[in-house]
Each structure stands twice: as structure tokens, then as C-alpha cells.
């Protein structure tokens, strides 16, 4: 007779486990969540002397990037849950682990800037997880297309933040530059795996949603 631990997990079991894993990872550095465990790109770079206004701005940008990584990790968790093939599922889980590194790096930088993540992060995680799961149900090519468009928008978003950061904030800059590299790789990998091009209205809806997330996360 099989015990509870050996029974086959239902789809609902997996949803609950993934949501629980993701939400546990929102509490800051070292609180959980899947990650690769790569070293923080800021390494031993010296922290800059920032004015109060510069510090608030840098923290606001990093809070936005932290929220973006919360949403990205949730998206990949949801897509992995409903992926049609093991290859796509593995790719989504690998990307989620890399986003977990980004999440940790942003959390660590927020601590250094004496600031905190957005209070709305649990909302963005849950919503993005459900969107990712829905994208996966449509089919792997469309799910991969969603990855491509998401990462393209993230790269543009990071470019804006890199140009907006205080010029001498080397620690924040190093983190965002490595994140930009990784996001570009995610997009390229999805294209090479057969991603479909998303319709224009879907892209515009994604852009509008990202704008709302950015504006709210910068403030609180």
C-alpha cells in the first residue's frame, strides 16, 4: 500500500507546490526559490557614495527589476507546469533557475540600498504564474513565443534602467548588465527552439501590463 509521500501528484498538487515555492522566495535573500546559485556580479566592487535622491532612485529601479524577476520566474514556473514536451519543460525550469539568481541579486542590492521589495510582489507572482500556465496550455510554440516577447521587452527595460542609473553606481550596474545578457540568451534559445511570433495585440497588451507593473513597483 502506497503512503501519501509515494502517491502520484495531481495537477492541482503541482500548482500548489509551485505557487508555494515561488511565494516563499519573495521574502528576500536566502528565503528560498529555485536558483542556479551563481555569484553576485557586483562581487567586490565598491559601493558608490550616493546622495539621498540618487539612492532613492537607484532603489526604485532595483525594486522594479526585482518585481520583474518575480514575474519572470513565476511565468516560467507556470509554463513548465503545462509544457507539452520534456524539452520545453526543462528549458523553462532552467530559465526559472536563472531568474532566481536575478531575484537574489536584486534582493541583495535592495538591502545594500536600505530599501525593500515591492509589497505587490505576491500579486505579480500569482498573476504571472497563471498567465504562464495558460500560455503553456495553448502549445509549446506559443509558449516559447511568449518567452521571446517577454525577454525582448525586459532587455529594452534594462537598457532604460542602465541609462537612468547614477553613473557611478557600479554595483547596481554590474547586476543589471549580467541580467541583460541572460535575458538575451533566453530569447535566443526560445527562438532556436521553434517559438511562434505573437500577434500584435498580444504584444501590446504585454507592454501595457509591464508599464503598470513598472510604475507601481517604483513607488511601493
What's the pLDDT tens digit per position in 41-75?
A: 999 999 999 999 999 999 999 999 999 999 988 89
Please report which confidence band the pLDDT of residue 212 belongs to, taking 50, 70 and 90 as the band edges: very high
Neighbour-count burial for 11-37, b at 16+ CB within 10 Å, e otherwise: eeeebeebbeebbebbebeeeebbbee
pLDDT at 99: 86
Would you say residue 7 has pLDDT above 60? Answer: no
For residue 6, with 0-12 CB atoms within 10 Å meaning exposed, 13-18 middle and 19 or more buried, which class applies? Answer: exposed
Distance (Å) of CA 106 to CA 60, 68, 117, 215: 11, 10, 9, 17
pLDDT at 100: 86
Instruction: For residue range 70-116, list pLDDT tens digits in order.
Output: 998 889 989 988 998 888 888 888 888 888 899 999 999 999 999 99
The answer regarding whether domain 19-25+58-219 maps to CATH 1.20.200.10 reads no
When pLDDT is averaged across residues 193-201 and rounded to a whole number, the result is 93
pLDDT at 35: 62
Least confident of 8-17, 168-177, 198-207: 8-17
* pTM score, whole prediction: 0.85
| Average pLDDT of the residues of the chain | 86
Query: Do 58 and 113 meet the contact criterion of CB atoms below 8 Å apart?
Result: yes
| CA distance linking residue 173 with residue 8, whole number of Å | 45
pLDDT at 87: 87
Would you say residue 24 has pLDDT above 80? Answer: no
Amino acid at each position: 500500500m502506497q503512503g501519501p509521500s509515494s502517491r502520484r501528484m495531481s495537477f492541482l498538487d503541482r500548482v500548489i507546490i509551485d505557487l508555494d515555492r515561488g511565494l516563499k522566495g519573495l521574502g528576500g535573500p536566502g528565503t528560498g526559490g529555485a536558483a542556479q546559485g551563481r555569484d553576485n556580479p557586483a562581487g567586490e566592487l565598491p559601493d558608490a557614495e550616493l546622495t539621498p535622491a540618487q539612492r532613492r532612485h537607484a532603489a526604485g529601479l532595483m525594486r522594479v527589476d526585482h518585481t520583474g524577476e518575480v514575474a519572470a520566474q513565476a511565468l516560467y514556473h507556470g509554463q513548465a507546469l503545462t509544457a507539452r514536451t520534456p524539452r520545453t519543460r526543462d528549458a523553462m525550469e532552467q530559465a526559472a533557475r536563472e531568474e532566481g539568481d536575478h531575484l537574489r541579486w536584486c534582493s541583495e542590492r535592495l538591502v545594500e540600498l536600505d530599501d525593500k521589495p515591492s509589497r505587490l510582489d505576491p500579486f505579480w507572482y500569482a498573476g504571472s504564474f497563471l498567465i504562464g500556465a495558460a500560455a503553456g496550455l495553448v502549445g509549446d510554440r506559443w509558449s516559447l513565443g511568449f518567452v521571446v516577447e517577454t525577454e525582448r521587452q525586459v532587455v529594452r527595460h534594462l537598457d532604460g534602467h542602465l541609462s537612468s542609473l547614477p553613473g557611478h553606481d557600479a554595483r547596481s550596474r554590474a547586476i543589471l548588465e549580467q541580467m541583460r545578457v541572460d535575458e538575451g540568451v533566453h530569447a535566443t534559445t526560445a527562438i532556436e527552439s521553434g517559438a511562434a511570433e505573437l500577434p500584435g495585440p498580444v504584444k501590446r497588451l504585454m507592454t501595457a501590463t509591464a508599464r503598470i507593473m513598472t510604475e507601481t513597483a517604483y513607488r511601493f
